[in-house]
Amino acid sequence: MLPSDKDEPLSSEAVKHRPTDYDINPLILNRWSPRAFADRAVAERDLHAILEAARWAPSSSNLQPWRFIVAASEEQKARFHSFINDGNLIWCKHAPVLLLVVSKTTNNKGGMNRSHAFDAGAAWGYLALEACRRGMIAHAMGGFNADQAQHELSIPNQYAALAVVAVGYQGDPAMLQGQLREREHPSSRMPLNDIIIEGSFA
């Protein structure tokens, strides 16, 4: 049985690096983006479960513009490796599953969907939280060649490639080198007052 959100304790790493001004769900704070992946396969049911969570994200006019291209076999992942930047490939090549998040840029009438990336980002957030709830990790990255991905994976022109997500289980930070190992902990956030603007920028 999966632990409920209420039963999930705040991890010691989250306590150390993520103090909050207000009490929020520990799942939100426990979710972060490690780069060290364990040599452990992701069961199909767990992969489909995190994609199921993404499916239920909100979207403008319920257009659900997100799509997830899944690479789980060695052949599929090799195609992804061809368009991922070297700085990310050095660690994400160890992930058992890679996803490419794409979103449809047009609406049902053929016009521009201005919120497609915003909505796809919400779906990614749902996916990441469900992965954390299941004891998995999901690390999204923008360091890839979108044009090359579009060509390599035969993505239609009305879809935009937004992010690559590495999915798996957390591994030993010792497998990372140099600065990557030093950065292998939850990141902090800007103070709440720095992101709240009352009324207008003026």
Does residue 141 lie in a domain region? yes
Residue 12 lies in a domain: no
Segments in 101-176 forming alpha helices (H):
116-133, 146-152
- Side-chain half-sphere CA neighbours of 163 within 13 A: 17
42-65 tens-digit pLDDT: 999 999 999 999 999 999 999 999
Task: Flag whether 8 is in a domain.
Answer: no
Query: Is residue 187 assigned to a domain?
Result: no
Residues pairing with 68 in the sheet: 101
Q: For the whole prediction, is pTM greater than 0.85?
A: yes
User: For 103-121, what is the mean pLDDT?
Assistant: 96
Handedness of CA 84, 90, 67, 142 (dihedral sign): negative
Neighbours of 160 (CB within 10 A): 17
Q: Total domain count for the chain?
A: 1
92 domain-assigned: yes
- pLDDT tens profile 65-101: 999 999 999 999 999 999 999 999 999 999 999 999 9
